[in-house]
Amino acid sequence: MHIILYGAPGVGKGTQAKILSHIYHIPHISTGDILRENIKNQTPLGVKAKQFMDGGNLVPDDVMIGMIKAIISSDRCKSGFILDGFPRTVAQAEALNIILCDLHINDYRVINFIVPEDVIISRLSDRYVCVKCGKIYNYSIDKFKAGDKCFKCGGNIYQRDDDKPETVKKRLSVYHTSTEPVKQYYTTTGRLTNIDGLGTIDEITLRLLTALQKKKN
């Protein structure tokens, strides 16, 4: 199975990707993880990406596309994959389509999570992360906040700049400008399925599995 999870920051793509990965036994491919992995291993693309990032610039499409192509062409993804965080632009979507065609992958589906913007801002502003192990906490549920210690590894918990309310609003603005047109691209190609992203994690997973089963049939 080949799945692309799509939607604004904070809609729950990462959470559902991990669940689907466990259910279908296929890898969860997060662009953030891929980027960090390539930089850590000092691959040619990782070195190139780091040069852009160190200069305060966005990693260009050709570098990200190269990383995506390398991983989905590998044995790791021979049984399928779940893409999370890519594509972010129509140009990336078009490049990805060419890669998938070259790999004879024609059955991929795009799942779009629909969540109101005020809920997204509330969700992300409530999120804190362990600097050491990356575990995510939600203050409203876990009561962990910046400066507390992670119960899993003892690392410091902090709030990423990306999750502060003013930054979240800017991220959503960028999404509407650059990333939302991807939704229209996949709607036109008939591959987009909309999912209600409100509710418990289990409720959303059930909707997701139902939609994927329908498409599979």
Q: One of 48, 69, 171, 207 is an active-site residue; which one?
A: 171
Q: Phi first, then psi: give them for residue 35, nearest 5 degrees.
A: -60, -50
Check if 171 is active-site. Answer: yes
Q: Where are the beta strands (DSSP E) in 10-140?
A: 28-30, 81-84, 109-114, 127-130, 136-138
Check if 127 is active-site. Answer: yes
215's tokens: 């498409």
Cβ neighbours of residue 35 closer than 8 Å, sequence gap 6 or more? 46, 49, 59, 64, 67
Check if 13 is active-site. Answer: yes
Q: One of 18, 50, 127, 183 is an active-site residue; which one?
A: 127
Q: Where are the beta strands (DSSP E) in 31-147?
A: 81-84, 109-114, 127-130, 136-138
- In the block, tokens 């990406």 appear at 49
140's tokens: 């409203």
Q: One of 48, 88, 109, 123 is an active-site residue; which one?
A: 88
Q: One of 40, 76, 78, 160 is an active-site residue; which one?
A: 160
**65 CB burial (10 A radius; 0-12, 13-18, 19+):** buried
Check if 191 is active-site. Answer: no
Check if 160 is active-site. Answer: yes
Q: What are the catalytic residues?
A: 13, 88, 127, 160, 171
